Amino acid sequence: MPEDELSRSSHSNPGKSLVNGIKTNPASNNPKSSLSVPVGPPVYVDLAYIPNHCSGKNTDPEFFKRVRASYYVVSGNDAANGEPSRAVLDALLEGKSQWGENLQVTLIPTHDTEVTREWYQQTHEKQQELNIMVLASSSTVVMQDESFPACKIEF
């Protein structure tokens, strides 16, 4: 976009700006309200990576209500920083419970952590009720001096 068009478009809506592609009002006194996602229909995707290594800083039940995936990848492996967050895993259950349809969901943890093991054991009945399967890796990939669990996903 030429600079003069860019300048005009930014002045055509005074007091509004874009944060992550969403129009916000910087004059708002509530900082959280400026980052809220507008109400709209859910988005259906095959695969979603849970943001920020499954940290509770960026993901809440609203994420799972709006982003409806067949597969969610959980990559957190830093207990000191709350990754993965038990609250985010619980948010998956809360968000999925409000879908109104019983679509199969597969959760793919990239690391075997105490948080995911405890969550799996303590909420297993609820997972079954909501048609959520937690995929455990039975395969290992070895590359040079490193080995790690691997999962194959087919669409």
89 contacts 116 by C-beta, under 8 angstroms: yes
84 contacts 115 by C-beta, under 8 angstroms: yes
60 domain residue, yes or no: yes
Q: Who has greater pLDDT, 99 or 36?
A: 99
List, in sequence order, the alpha helices (H) in 3-129: 3-11, 51-54, 61-66, 86-96, 114-129
4 domain residue, yes or no: no
The model carries a pTM of: 0.66
Predicted confidence (pLDDT) at residue 81 exceeds the cutoff of 50: yes
Domain housing 143: 43-149
131 domain residue, yes or no: yes
28 contacts 34 by C-beta, under 8 angstroms: yes
48 domain residue, yes or no: yes
54 domain residue, yes or no: yes
27 domain residue, yes or no: no
State the Cα–Cα distance between residues 68 and 42, nearest whole angstrom: 7
70 domain residue, yes or no: yes
18 contacts 24 by C-beta, under 8 angstroms: yes
- Give per-residue pLDDT as tens, 83-125: 688 999 999 999 999 998 889 999 988 888 888 899 999 999 9
Which percentage of the chain shows pLDDT scores above 70?
A: 65
| Number of structural domains the chain divides into | 1
80 domain residue, yes or no: yes
